[in-house]
Structure 1
Amino acid sequence: MRINKLFSNYGICSRTDVNRLVEENRIIVNGKLCLPGQWVEVEDNILLDNDNIKARDKIYIALNKPAGITCTAEKSVESNIIDFINFPGYIFPVGRLDKNSKGLILMTNDGELANNILESKNEHEKEYIVTVNKPFDDFFIKGMSEGVQVCAVMTRPCKVIMVSNDTFRIILTQGLNKQIRRMAKAFGYTVISLERTRIINIKISGIDVGSWRYLTEIEVSELSNL
């Protein structure tokens, strides 16, 4: 695999950060300075700052993200999620939850597990509770659940459950950019509140807004066995 992927899988740093380490001549592979995007084997002698690399302990966190925080590991972005959580170690968000939305986001240093969760073909469930700007009817529920044309893509059929005349629950198996907001807009509605409450087997219940907890061993095991 490429050196970037190996470092990410080992929980050392992001693939982007590897490029910086290579440019700074801080990575040595089999006695030679590493090249950008170099292909490596796990058995290679790989040094970072003259120390042999090794897999870091895996970290798995469930965060209840407030609105106003951007799900990016790019620290140059104002109000980014890395500065917000201020965790003493390398972690990154698994996927995204747009800035104006709140709710569950997973944070980890396990690149392999993150990729499995995000892989679209795996059709993992994510659940949201959504409030729109005006009452809707059964036509809206039926249309949303059957699929909506969004940015030249027809969304997958999904589960939509009415909570009140302006609030519904929706369970998606894909993650298009601002998908729910764009789906609602296609029917003439504007989302005024969006909260993600579940990702696969991980639920937000018990986590206050702005707080986080470590996943349990059972939760991590269930995710790993997907």
Structure 2
Amino acid sequence: MSDQSNDSSDSIRLSKRMTELGMCSRREADEYIERGWVKVDGVVVNVLGSRVRPGQTVTLEAPAQAAQAARVTILLNKPVSYVSAQAEKGYKPASVLIVPENHWDGDLSGQRFHPQHLRGLAPAGRLDIDSVGLLVLTQDGRVAKTLIGENSNVEKEYLVRVSGRLSDEGLRLLNHGLELDGEALRPAQVVWQNADQLRFILKEGKKRQIRRMCEMVGLQVVGLKRIRIGNVRLGQLPTGKWRYLASNETFD
């Protein structure tokens, strides 16, 4: 029942340290601490706001590990006219598609749908209303941190149908050299897939980033489809259908 308080200048909040270690989200960390499911150097810490030094060992008790194992991650092939998160301007959130009748019969995860899987399910990344393809919704803070955390380095791959004329210099700028919102974009990989379609591979996801990048080099996006996030591909998942992330699949 120790609070493991530590006033050392290099100490940090235990919940923050847990997220840095990739153990869980901040919200989950606070829950585990309150429940007495966290140990620091072998001693239970159950007081919110407790601090630890970087060298101390943080571990999760069995109930926390079981809670994490029960959390699901869902892969959806999002259709046009659905928003990624909260409903807006009359458009429905993509989460309304996570119902038993839309569960893909090609799902090999072995998971069976349970209403509990909808609790706390949230998108880990966005696809705008007019874009389609792979959208990840998860209950697991570790997955969310991997995909959208501040230091995320996971690739996202898109097929982008465009109209307009793209010069060699424009293609070079798409790969590296553009700015959005006053910030230089990270290097991308952009190549022609066919006569009217580009393949984009990005490691960031600013709002409507690809569409805005294309506009800056004189292109208009006609269609945009996300086909991969990290090691996970959209594959044969039909539009509007969803499946569970299998236990042997990881994004990084």
- TM-score scaled to structure 1, two decimals? 0.72
Please name the residue that 1:6 is paired with: 28
Find out whether 1:59 has 2:46 as its counterpart. Answer: no
Partner of 1:153: 183
Q: RMSD of the TM alignment (CA)? A: 3.0
Question: For the residues of structure 2 that align with 1:84 and 1:63, how far apart are their CA atoms?
Answer: 8
Give 4+ residue runs of structure 1 displaced > 6 Å after superposition: 7-10
Q: Which moved more, 1:139-148 or 1:176-185?
A: 139-148
Where do residues 124-139 of structure 1 align in structure 2 (5 Å cutoff)? 124-139=154-169
Q: Deviations 1:86-133 (Å, cap 9, x if unpaired)?
A: 473221111111111001011110022211221242321000000112
Residue number among 62, 77, 84 corresponding to 1:71 in the alignment: 84
| Residue in 1 that maps onto 2:40 | none
The alignment covers a number of residue pairs equal to 187
Q: Is the 8 A contact 2:81 2:91 kept in 1?
A: no
Work out whether residues 165 and 218 of structure 2, in 8 Å CA contact, stay in contact via their aligned partners in 1.
Answer: no
- 8 Å CA contact 2:227–2:234 kept in 1: the answer is yes
In structure 2, which of residues 192, 196, 199 is the aligned counterpart of residue 162 of structure 1? 192
Q: Is 1:158–1:171's contact at 8 Å kept on the other side of the alignment?
A: yes
1:175-194 alignment to 2 at 5 Å?
175-194=205-224
Q: Per the alignment, in what secondary structure is the counterpart of residue 97 of structure 1? A: coil
The amino acid that maps onto 1:103 is G
1:15-53 deviation line (CA, Å, top 9, x unaligned): xxxxxxxxxxxxx989xxxxxxx9378xxxxxxxxxxxx
Query: Equivalent residue of 1:39, what SS?
Result: coil
Find the counterpart in structure 2 of residue 121 from structure 1.
Answer: 151
Residue type of the alignment partner of 2:82: I
- Structure 1 residue 169 displacement after superposition: 0.1
Matched residues, percent identical?
30
- In the other structure, the counterpart of 1:202 is 232
Q: Match of 2:92, as an amino acid? A: S
Q: What TM-score do you get using the length of structure 2 for normalisation? A: 0.65
Question: Helix, strand or coil: the match of 2:67?
Answer: coil
Give the aligned residue type for 2:132: K
Asked if structure 2 preserves the Cα contact closer than 8 Å seen for 1:71 and 1:96, the reply is yes
Question: What SS is found at the alignment partner of 2:151?
Answer: helix
Paired residue type of 1:142: R
Letter in 1 for 2:234: I
CA offset at residue 173 of structure 1? Answer: 0.6
Where in structure 2 are there 5+ consecutive unaligned residues? 1-14, 17-24, 37-46, 51-65, 101-114
Q: Which amino acid aligns with 2:84?
A: C
Cα separation, 2, equivalents of 1:86 and 1:4: 28
When Rg is computed on C-alpha atoms for both structures, the one with the higher figure is 2
Deviations 1:36-72 (A, max 9, x none): xx9378xxxxxxxxxxxx8261102111101111011
